[in-house]
Structure 1
Amino acid sequence: MTFACAWVIPGCLPAQAVDERTAQCWSCHGDNGESPNPETPSLGAQKSAYVLIQLYLFREKMRRFELMNNAVKGFSDDDLRTFADMISRLPPPPPTADTVDPARMERGRALVRQYRCNVCHSPDMAGRDAVPRIAGQREDFLVKTMREYKANIRAGYDASMGDVLQPIPDADILDLAYFTARQP
């Protein structure tokens, strides 16, 4: 996958350098940002501001995951912006393509309203600004992430997700993830 960005973003890495540095991204996060790996997020169509914040947290080791900490070690702020903008231009991942349980989908839809997920993540769960796109995200990653926020072991740039998830029972987390993973 080649991204020529030097003419689009001032200070951007040359296209060849971007290709070299993104090769390791795609090995985990998948071609076009559609992850084939368990508990590894799909990145396609993720909001640039959100990606930039996450990359910054990894670079500064405020969010600890050695593979990601090492992947962005030495990146300049301009490098982080280049990668965030590139990821935001990838196509969104397709929703989970298995047989859908209509009752569980309706329960998930009701839980999204009950817990007001759609207020921050937007009605179509596509995210906005620094709030991530969660529509079509890997179900196992959504469950893992919500459990980490609930247990206060997932770093973020604010504590809102931990606070929101505290009262939510695990059965509801499972249904929220089921529903969200199947959204376009």
Structure 2
Amino acid sequence: MLNNLKNYHIILASQSPRRHQMLKELGLDFKIQTKDVEEVYPDHLKGEEIPVYLAKLKAEAFVLDLNEKELVITADTIVCVDDMVLGKPKDRADAVEMLKTLSGRSHQVISGVCLKSKHKEASFSTTTHVHFKELSLDEIDYYIDNYKPFDKAGAYGIQEWIGFVGIDGIEGSYFNVVGLPIQRLYQELSTF
């Protein structure tokens, strides 16, 4: 459907199986390739600036390797609550603390995406507001022990058990919370 991309070989720079699946569902042919990037951002960045910065940082790692016919897609997702950024949990105790922090409150899931070719770059962010019901410690323990959400910002996946029982409302893109604002990505790809 994205005829303007026919001449590009698309690279998705992500290990996330959720991102792989969503891009596949768009009908795009792509390969998966990642580069080691230290995901550190300057302290002065806030909110949507953070994942956009990190997505650009990941794309920049490809700049010397891209040929004329390649397009790399990079993304980063963070969870923000009260101006505090929750990344991926370091361990089980960290995951418990994150879910206790999110319990009974609203937070923002912010994804930054960067599209980069040899001569062009475009980046954007998408924010979704998510509200959790009050979670019991038993629910948190059950979820962490059975779903091991250590690869997810904020220590949860909306598409998993905790999302079914704990999330009582969202405002914005569901797919952004899964890990990739796919509708916005489609729009951006169609004009790249």
Is the structural similarity TM-score above 0.5? no
TM-score when normalising by structure 2: 0.25
TM-score when normalising by structure 1: 0.25
